[in-house]
Amino acid sequence: MIPRAVILAIGDELLLGRTQDTNTAYLARWCQDHGIRVVRSAILGDDEAQMVAAMAAAAAEADLVLITGGLGPTRDDRTRHALAAAAGVPLRQSASAWKQIQAYYGRVRPGEAVPESNRRQALTPRGAQLLRNDRGTAPGLAVAVAESWLVALPGVPVEMYAMLERLAPRLATWFPQHRIPVVQELHLCGLGESAVQDQLGDLLEGDGRLSVGITAHEAGHITIRVVGSASAGRRRLAACAALLGPWVLPEAGVVPSLVHVLRRRGLTISAAESCTCGQVAALLGAVPGVSAVLEESLITYANQAKIRYLGVSDWLIEQNGVVSEACAQAMAEGMRLRSGADLAVATTGIAGPDGGTRAKPVGSVWIAVASRQGLSTRCLQLHGDRQRIQRRAAIAALRLAWEHVRRPARTPNP
């Protein structure tokens, strides 16, 4: 039996969109790690009647209802009231909850009296189990309602994270029959989502033991994810990998895969960026351990900088324009020689919103990669606003670098 969970995040500020709810995703991952299937989640405002209805509906539908938020000391925090109403039990001051609050307060503010407003946080539905809060005043609450466990956790993320560690050991008691499913992923680069679909066909269909999903990431890769039996999942992904071998990434993303392979081969990389203006370096720099492969990188935004740093000749720019294959190649090759890096990436293009022409509209970008094996170049025609064009050009340049290093050394590019 796989326990089913519903997640409820409480707070008006979440419904105004001013605060990004990250607790739901954290709770969802926690559930997955503990073999619990989240069937849905919801965000509710600080409205007690709405909360009671949502808690009761969730209890009828799920084995575990994880509720986050609304346990604060102010009057708009109504989660414990709603919890008591949903369980049909009275809410009353709990002496042990008050002791926990006093103990926490004594630890962080020795000698100070606990403010009276915190007494609200000792209000507890009759029969509730308390969950100790190591990072704040409000204890968590677990209440059995019908066949379900309703658990109220604080909305402050660090308080919630710590409390989940105290919650985990109770799962074995609450769900003794329960077996843990396994999540496995395969990451691909170089094929579109529809091409993957066309090639894999039924391999993307779920069955009783396995659910299968496919996600295209803005960062340039595609993930196939299987959830269920470990062995069935392994076999399924192996079958996918057998069909799509050349496109399989060693890490969860193009840039981490590139850094991984460069590290393993003892190679270094650098970039000479024009239109991407630092985004290639920033993408590389986000990967832990990049210092082994990245020593320096240049942003040569003005033509003079391309000439001075990279040795691009002024007549080359004059003849071909700065947004050209020749210029991208000269930048990459100039950067490689100048920096001594094994691999150099270059970008030159028109990110907009101004600067486009009929022949080279906004979004025209040339990217190039140089190594001792030769040069790879590509022309892109990107759409969207300036930031999107820059980001996609940077991702494309690193994808080209990935393809360049992945290629066997015996087939150099002319």
Does residue number 250 form part of the binding site for its own copies (CB under 8 A)? no
User: b/e map of 158-167 (b: 16 or more CB within 10 Å)?
Assistant: ebbbbbbeeb
Please state the closest distance from residue 44 (CB atom) to its own copies, in A.
5
Among 38, 240, 262, 326, binds its own copies (CB under 8 A): 38
Of residues 295-334, those binding its own copies (CB under 8 A): 295-302, 304-305, 309
Per DSSP bridges, beta strands 374-381 and 182-188 are unpaired
- The stretch among 71-79, 237-245, 256-264, 368-376 that binds its own copies (CB under 8 A) is 71-79
Check binding of 165 to its own copies (CB under 8 A): no
Our finding on whether 16 is near its own copies (CB under 8 A) is: yes
Residues 6+ apart with CB under 8 A from 364: 323, 349, 350, 356, 379, 380, 381
Query: How far is C-alpha 346 from the geometric centre of its chain's CA atoms?
Result: 27
Kindly state the smallest distance separating residue 351's Cβ from its own copies, in Å. Answer: 8
Nearest-angstrom CA–CA distance, 386 and 203: 38
β-pairing, 129-131 vs 148-153, is unpaired
Closer to its own copies at the Cβ: 160 or 373?
A: 160
Q: Quote the tokens at residue 145.
A: 């309602």
- Site membership for its own copies, residue 277 (CB under 8 A): yes
15 binds its own copies (CB under 8 A): yes
Residue 214 binds to its own copies (criterion: CB under 8 A)? yes
Residue from the set 49, 93, 99, 198 that interacts with its own copies by CB under 8 A: 198
**Interatomic CA distance for residues 257 and 250, integer angstroms:** 6
Q: Does 290 bind its own copies (CB under 8 A)?
A: yes
Copy the structure tokens of residue 78.
């109504």
**Of 122-130, 233-241, 323-331, 352-360, which part binds its own copies (CB under 8 A)?**
352-360
The tokens describing 375, both together, are: 């040069």
If one asks whether residue 39 binds its own copies (CB under 8 A), the answer comes out as yes
- The token duo for 216 is 């295209």
Out of 245, 246, 264, 291, the residue judged to bind its own copies by CB under 8 A: 291
What are the structure tokens assigned to 52, written together? 């009671």
Q: Identity (one letter) of the amino acid at 354? A: D
The secondary structure of residue 201, as a DSSP letter, is G
> Which one of 227, 232, 241, 316 is in contact with its own copies (CB under 8 A)?
227
Single out the residue of 3, 41, 71, 255 in contact with its own copies (rule: CB under 8 A).
Answer: 41
- Pick from 18, 179, 264, 410 the residue near its own copies by CB under 8 A: 18
